[in-house]
Every structure is written in C-alpha cells, then in structure tokens.
A = this chain, B = another copy of it.
Amino acid sequence: MGTSLPSAATASDITIGPIRGSHKAWVTATTVRGEDLQVPVRRIDLTNGHHLDVYDTSGPYTAYGSAAQVHDLTTGLPGLRGDWAHNEAVPADPAVPGSPLVRTQLAWARNGVITPEMSYIAARECLPVDLVRDEVARGRAVIPANHRHPEAEPMVIGKRFAVKINANIGNSAVRSSIADEVEKMVWATRWGADTIMDLSTGRDIHETREWILRNSPVPVGTVPIYQALEKVDGDPTALTWEAYRDTVIEQAEQGVDYMTVHAGVLLRYVPLAAKRVTGIVSRGGSIMAAWCLAHHTESFLYTHFEELCDILAAYDITFSLGDGLRPGSIADANDAAQLAELRTLGELTGIAKARGVQVMIEGPGHVPMHKIVENVRLEEEWCDEAPFYTLGPLATDIAPGYDHITSAIGAAMIAQAGTAMLCYVTPKEHLGLPDRDDVKVGVITYKIAAHSADLAKGHPGAQQRDDELSKARFEFRWQDQFNLGLDPDTAVEFHDETLPAEPAKNA
C-alpha cells in the first residue's frame, strides 16, 4: 500500500507512547489453520503486583517509545492482514441456489468458514470464535474490513459483543490541515475510538483519506456522497449515479471499510419532513432530498442499489445504511418520515445481504428517553437485526455546549437496548468544529456510555474493571484508581489541584 503521500506530517506531530500506568502487550490467538496471531491489549499495571488487560484500539502508536521508532507515515503501517485474506470466493448465501460468489466475511461465515479476522476478534473480545462466526453469519454482527485496508486490526460490531464507538474526524476550509487529521485519528483511537469516520470536504479530500487509511489501526468509514458533491461543485441537482459510483470505487480502492449510503431517502418520503420542527438535518439526507425533488425522480442510490451492492461486495465493504431523515429535534423523534425510511432500510438490508454484503443501520439523532427503546425494537424487526449504529441520541435539545452529555444519556440507554455502535458527539456539536480536547472528551464520554451498557447487558468480563478500580479506591491505592480509569491524566490533574502533596496519593 505504498502510495506516495505529501510529507507534511512528521513523526514528531504524532502522539506516541503508552497511556499513563499501562503498556501495550500482546496475547496470542491461533487461527483454524494453526497460525499464531498477536492480538494487542492495554495492560494496566497495578501497585499490588496484579495487572488488568483491557481492549486496545490504539495501534502501534502507544507502543512507540520515541519519535525515531515511528513508522514512515508516508508509507503507512505494516499491512497486518496482508497475508490473511486468501480465502476463496464462496456463495453469498449457500441456502440460495445461484447465489453470487463473493469474498466477504458474511459469505464466509454463512459457509462455515472461520477467517483469521474472526479468530483475532474472538481473542480481542474474550469470546468463542464460533460466536463471532455465528453472529456474522446471522447478519447480527459485521466485521468492517476492506480487502484493501490491511493495516486495520480486525474488530466486530454487533450486540453480542462489546459496544463500540466511532469518532468523526474531517478537515475543513476553516481550520484543519492533513497533518492535523492524521493526528486526530491517532488521538481518537488512543482514547478508545473503535472506528473513525473521515468526513473531510473541500481540497485534498483524496489525499487526506489516503493518509488516514494508511496509518489507521481501526476501520475507516466515509460518506461518499460528500466527495461526489465536491466533484459537481457543490450542486446536489448535478449529481449523477455515474459520478457517485466512480467516487465509491475510488474510495473502495483506497480501502474504506464502511460507507454511509442514504439510499432510504425516497422521493415520496421528502414531503413527510416538511412539517417538522427541524426538517432534514442529515447532510446526506438533504443532498438526496434536493436531488429527488429537483429531478422528481426516485433516488439513484435506491434505483442502482444492486449495482452498488456488487461494488461493495468486491471489496467486502460494509454498508452503513444512513438515516437521512433522522430527527434533528425532540419534536421530530420517531415520526412518520423517520420510520418510513427505516422500513426502506430494512428492504435494502435484505437485498444487500442476499448479495453477501455486510450491513449496519444508522439511527438517530434526537430522541427523548421514553422513545429510545422503540427505535431499537423497530430497527431489529424491520432490518433483520442488522447492527444498529446511532448518533447519540440526544435526550434533550436544550443544552448546546453540553451535547456530549445530552447524547451520552441517550447513547447509554440505546446501547443497553441493543445498539452495537455509538457515533460520538463532542461538546462543540451544533456550535463549531471540535478541537483536540473536544475529540478526547467526546471519546471518553462515549466510552462511558458504551461501558455502562456493557455492564447493563452483563457483557462477560466488563465489570472486572469497575471492580478493580473500586477495590483500589477502597484501599486508597490512588495510583491504581487513576490508572484504571478511562482518562488517568485528567484524574491525576484533578486530584493534584486540590491535594497536590505526594503522600496524599499514597495514604
């Protein structure tokens, strides 16, 4: 994957080294072919001689001891999965005669194949590999892993597994540079982002994405319609299926692991949003609604959906079927527009899975607490339990500046009900662009929501970290309390502010 990249970012711009009180370690997983895989964990070392291993998303960056050890950012990370993906093409659905032959995790799982990715994931999740395969086969879990993104460490998104979180990053005409974006990815994954979405717009969009993909240890998602719109100078009515398709292929070749596609925004649903308090707030939804209305024609994403499936199947890219009509306010939650689109996403889920393509479903948005569970139940019923991937939801509209918190409440509840991945919200939501601190606060806040849900779901082993931290607290092992937390640096800083003397932390 040695694409040449501009060398504007240097190793000294990148955050490296372990999180306080821990170090990177590896546990060995064995594939069904008997090969050993080294699976990373973050090992938290305790002052009582014990340690606790926790799930690690940070890639090699936390293992580097100095800038000199950092890999060449212009060539990117070594291709971890470079020699894994040699599985044969198999029928997309072996239960259906004449099913197309594809090379996707879904198809392999359905055909009983345990891939190296599944073995790696089982070790990461401390769960049986058969469970991984069965859940993927059932379509209740996805492994977003483009054949052309071998740098990523395999992970699974599904309700039987640890709840995952996504962090959005993206450049902007106003603030960012490419170097900033790579560091943002490193920064977000350092604190626990399981995937990142590159929502870049404007200049250098291809190069930004290339740089991120080559250096990202986690799956990368995109919204291809954003780049397609750039290609037609920002005029949604000038979009065509061909321009869109070519953009998808361009991104697929680069290695994007999952793509948000707003194929459920149908022409006839657009008027349903007219009487809303906040109309259509999804950018992709707005673009497609504008296109449908201008041409008075059904969405090309819908009419060309099968062709799109075949492109995604060729790379094993996972669909993230976007909720272009998601509610942007409490008033609009669970309304006719939102639910009409969700039904269509269910229809598209069936089409994609029949062609062997992995699918997850995006969800809202802004939803009051008493309407949250219904979102999960309907999604599961209509979309055949495809993994749900929600943005929050925000449980109230009245706290701009604190929407990481308004949404963490909704996120924890929707994850408890079965949502598999949570898209983070930062304190700058609705107000501006997140900076480095905002990204960290957003990630930590969403780790809290995800972990709270893991506890509530009785996820195996989840409570061990709570118990270790609480024991440390009870025994006044202050350093262990700090280091077992999601953000040791902030815990230490807060403690030192009021009780700076070193003995106070030991006794």
A432 pairs with B497, CB closer than 8 A: yes
Q: Which of B331, B401, B467, B497 is in CB contact (< 8 Å) with A491?
A: B401
Chain B, residue nearest A410 (CB): B452
Whether A456 is near chain B, meaning CB under 8 Å from some CB there, is yes
Chain B residues contacting A449 (CB-CB under 8 Å) are 409
Q: Are B466 and A431 in contact (CB under 8 A)?
A: no
Q: Which of A78-86, A106-114, A116-124, A479-487 contacts B (4 or more CB under 8 A)?
A: A479-487
From B409, B427, B485, A494 is in contact (CB under 8 Å) with B427
A329–B469 Cα distance when bound, in Å, is: 9
Given contacts A328-B474, A369-B453, contact A482 B399 (CB under 8 A): no
Do B406 and A448 have beta carbons less than 8 Å apart? Answer: yes
Tell me, yes or no, whether A39 is within 8 Å of chain B by CB: no
Which chain B positions have C-beta within 8 A of A486? 398-399, 402
Measured CB to CB, the closest approach of chain B to A330, in angstroms, equals 4
A466 to B400, CA, bound (A): 11
Residue interface mask A405-443, B partner, CB < 8 A = 1: 110110011001000000000011011110100000000
Report the nearest B residue to A406, measured CB to CB.
B448
Interface size on A, as a range, is 35 or more
- A451-483 Cβ-contact flags toward B at 8 Å (1 or 0): 111011110000101110111011000000110
Q: How far is the CA of A404 from the CA of B427 in the complex (A)?
A: 14
Near B by CB (< 8 A), chain A positions 143-188 give 174-175
Distance in angstroms from A335 CB to nearest chain B CB is 13
Closest Cβ neighbor of A429 among chain B residues: B494
Residues of B within 8 A of A369 (CB): 412-413, 416, 452-453, 455-456
Instruction: Tell me, rounded to whole Å, the shortest Cβ–Cβ distance linking A415 to chain B.
Output: 9
Shortest C-beta distance, A403 to chain B (Å), equals 9
Bound: A179/B247 CA distance, A: 64
Complex: how many Å from CA A279 to CA B471? 10
A471 to B331, CA, bound (A): 10
Instruction: Answer whether A370 and B456 are a contact pair too, CB < 8 Å, given A402-B445, A481-B400.
Output: yes
CB distance from A486 to the nearest CB of B (A): 5
What 3 A-B pairs have minimum CB-CB distances, sorted nearest first? Answer: A432-B498, A329-B470, A369-B456
Selected A-B contacts with CB under 8 Å, 6 pairs: A175-B498, A370-B455, A398-B451, A401-B487, A401-B491, A431-B495
- Interface residues of chain A, those whose CB is within 8 Å of chain B, are 174-175, 277-279, 328-331, 366, 368-370, 395-402, 404-406, 408-409, 412-413, 416, 427-428, 430-433, 435, 444-445, 447-449, 451-453, 455-458, 463, 465-467, 469-471, 473-474, 481-482, 484-487, 490-491, 493-495, 497-499
Known contacts A370-B456, A402-B490, A408-B409; 10 additional CB pairs below 8 A are A278-B471, A331-B467, A370-B457, A398-B466, A398-B486, A400-B491, A401-B494, A402-B448, A409-B449, A432-B499
